[in-house]
Structure 1
Amino acid sequence: MRFAYPMQKIQDWFTQQWVIFRGRKINPDEFLWLIGPFGLLDSIGKDFIEKFAASENLSVDYHTSSQGLIPSMKQLNLSEDEFSQLSKQVISFYENTADYDLNFSVKWNPFFKVFGVLITKLFSVRINQLNIPTENIKDTESLESEIITLIDPDSKEVKYTIWFRSIKSSGQVVYSGIYGVCTLPSGQTCVKAVFPLPNGNATVIMSPTVGKNGELILDSSGKKFGDAGFYFLLKDSKGDYWSQFIKSFRDKLIIGEDDDGISAEQTLTLWNKMVLKFNYRIKVKK
């Protein structure tokens, strides 16, 4: 039996030990599609970004203009028909995310809300990560949406693209994720979002399709390890890697254009029951 790294918060240790007990040991060189940056034990927010960049000998660009989550949507390898149908506004948003403002609302399933409060108190506030408001937000709240890039100072190549989102009115960090694309063992190209956690990360891999109205549909509803889905990764006390695929937890995002610009709906489910739903309004910055 392997053990999680001992010198950390007890709730983090128990969570990591659960992943080791329920997950599988992996060789990171054989699972490049899954591997992503791990968080530090003492910081996850912007402090983590600085420390991680220093450890990788990368420079941090906080003032990136016209930089997107995905440099080119052609990287998703959609069919010619799908790409031609995909909304041009959606393409622009993903390729130029820094040029857009976001507002959002939140609706919880009352049954799961108590778990959201518990996670927030035990983990989210402390580590400034996955810090979702635990109260319903009916009227839209403005998000501070920043694209931060980590750049190789020699080649000037962007190594990591970070989407840092916080609530404008309070400064509360909601998400700090590293975005890009990956190719699954099946050969399918997916959108990949890595959320660093202490000594590990939560990774969401979403398969892309295009709806009948040109909307982009990203879905993490995989059935087995190696599919699109939600994964925990960590390193144990001996430095070996472990991962667990959480089949019961799913994330679906539908983003398309309407009369007012771009709108998106994101639904998180557990055991096929809606946990919470986000609705986003996305507009070009003035």
Structure 2
Amino acid sequence: MLNALDLATRKMWRALGRPVDLAGDHSWLRAPMSDGSTVADGWLAAEAAAHGGEVHENAPGGGLLHDMNALNGPEFDATRLRPEIRDFYERTSAWRMEVWTGWSPAFWLGGELISRLFGKRVQQLALPMRPLDVARGMDSRIALIRDRDGQQVAAAWLRTLRSTGEYVYSGCYGRRLLPGAAGPSVHVAFPLESGNVQVFLRPQHEPDGGLLLRSPRGRFGDNGAYVVVRDRGRTFAARAPIHETFRLYVDDEGVLRTDHELRMWNATAVRLHYRLEPLS
């Protein structure tokens, strides 16, 4: 029954999408997929092998991005960011987080169904539905994916509920230059069975040294969210009506915080807030 539901979902996204060539014109959409229905961290070894390299678990000081300067372009300069924000992205494993979540009533039931039918079962994208779901905290670990030359090509950010050990997110983080874009984007891929969800976030620095990451509305090939599925030897991709905003800033007490808003079309579905603190 549930396998049929997964298959039906892939068929739906195939119908909504367009054929893509991940080895050619659409290589910007190449990202890890899961071979099985349970995702968790099972995709890591295959992704490292695709780069001819290895996975480095719990690398000391491992970060989502090796160097924030890799995002520099005509519209973004990493040197204008607060040092705390740069340190968080470049040494993510040296930070811990507290999370608060608040769903819009109009989207709560849909979020609950997705969490029960997909998220918790496949151990991927299981967004917390209630504030108490994260009352005991969320554990976070970074696994670096390095190529045959030992260079970091991506990082896995694996977040689990401390109370249950269940996966909330299993994401592959890096940088990606979109077709025709002036500068690089932050690229996040969430592997799924025979597919993935990808988000391309445009970086902006704010006057106070904060960081704004946005996945706005746009055309195919622009920053935003995409669903990619593999079906009968072919690959299809479609833009998804998901738009996210992350605002990282340091508050008046010197605490690094993040406001995260996820919208469906133009309506806010869920807001999350993160308090980020260095481990030492």
Could you say which residue in structure 1 is the equivalent of 2:201? 206
- 1:16 pairs with one of 10, 32, 55: 10
- Distance verdict in 2 for CA 1:111–1:85, change over 3 Å: same
- Distance verdict in 2 for CA 1:126–1:80, change over 3 Å: closer
Conservation of the 8 A alpha-carbon contact between 2:32 and 2:189:
yes
Deviations 1:248-271 (A, max 9, x none): 310110011122421001000112
Structure 1 residue 74, shift from structure 2 partner:
0.8
Could you say which residue in structure 1 is the equivalent of 2:85? 90
Letter in 2 for 1:207: R
Conservation of the 8 A alpha-carbon contact between 2:141 and 2:158:
yes
Conservation of the 8 A alpha-carbon contact between 1:106 and 1:276:
yes
Could you say which residue in structure 2 is the equivalent of 1:245? 239
Q: Secondary structure at the match of 1:39?
A: coil
Distance (whole Å) between structure 2 residues aligned to residue 190 and residue 69 of structure 1: 13
Q: Which runs of 4+ in 1 moved over 6 A?
A: none
Letter in 1 for 2:63: G
Aligned pairs (5 A) from 1:86-235: 86-137=81-132, 141-152=136-147, 154-187=148-181, 188-235=183-230
Distance (whole Å) between structure 1 residues aligned to residue 153 and residue 275 of structure 2: 29
Conservation of the 8 A alpha-carbon contact between 1:108 and 1:136:
no
Structure 1 residue 189, shift from structure 2 partner:
1.2
Aligned pairs (5 A) from 1:39-50: 39-50=34-45
TM-score (norm 2): 0.92
Aligned length: 277
- 2:61 pairs with one of 45, 61, 66: 66
Structure 1 residue 55, shift from structure 2 partner:
6.9
Q: Secondary structure at the match of 2:70?
A: helix
The alignment's C-alpha RMSD in Å is: 2.2
TM-score (norm 1): 0.90
Deviations 1:226-285 (A, max 9, x none): 110010001111x11100002x31011001112242100100011211100110000100
- Distance verdict in 2 for CA 1:175–1:75, change over 3 Å: same
Letter in 2 for 1:195: F
Letter in 1 for 2:197: A
Distance (whole Å) between structure 2 residues aligned to residue 33 and residue 257 of structure 1: 33
Q: Secondary structure at the match of 1:126?
A: helix
Listed as ranges, the gaps of 5+ residues in structure 1 are 1-7
Distance (whole Å) between structure 2 residues aligned to residue 183 and residue 50 of structure 1: 24
Distance (whole Å) between structure 1 residues aligned to residue 45 and residue 25 of structure 2: 28
When structure 1 is superposed on structure 2, of 43-52 and 266-275 the one drifting more is 43-52
Listed as ranges, the gaps of 5+ residues in structure 2 are none
